[in-house]
Amino acid sequence: MSKRDNLIIEAIKEGLSVKEIAARVGVEEDYAKKLRAKLARQHGLTVTAGSTPSQTYGMTEDSMVMRGRLMNKLSNLVNIQGIHPVEVALMTGVTQTAQTENRVRPWTYDWKLSELERLAAVEGVSISELLLEVIGPRKSGEIL
């Protein structure tokens, strides 16, 4: 059995989705789906629809904290300032769909530089100030 097969079997046992398996193994999603089904059959494993892992594979905790803080800033525009998600999407470039999906898993969004610049402009700060604020040390009791 290959190293890739072992990684896929481990991912099936963890309950990862096809998309997460494809990212972990480095193959296309369609091929990952076929491999997952084949290996699950061969090894008598149950395939689940996928679950939310506590940490995204290959991502550092610092990166997850920073992404979570950025998404908190975005959520504050809607929840605290009362701006409609469509308006937030127009102002920042982060789609309404991405805003909705990332309420559950805020650390998974891959920010573009233009989105960061636009979020900084909405916040009324420079991009450097925004990044220094979100990169700062973890606060006591801060959770992802």
Q: Please identify, in words, the CATH class of the domain defined by 61-135.
A: mainly alpha
What does pLDDT average to in each consecutive run of 10 residues of the chain (144 residues)? 87 85 87 88 76 59 84 88 92 90 77 94 94 81 57
Cα-Cα end-to-end distance for the chain: 37
- The residues spanned by each domain of the chain are 3-43, 61-135
Tell me how crowded residue 116 is: count the other CB atoms within 10 A of its CB.
18
User: For position 29, what pLDDT does the model report?
Assistant: 86
User: For position 120, what pLDDT does the model report?
Assistant: 95
Tell me how crowded residue 30 is: count the other CB atoms within 10 A of its CB.
10
User: For position 58, what pLDDT does the model report?
Assistant: 67
**Residue 95 half-sphere exposure toward CB, CA atoms < 13 A:** 5
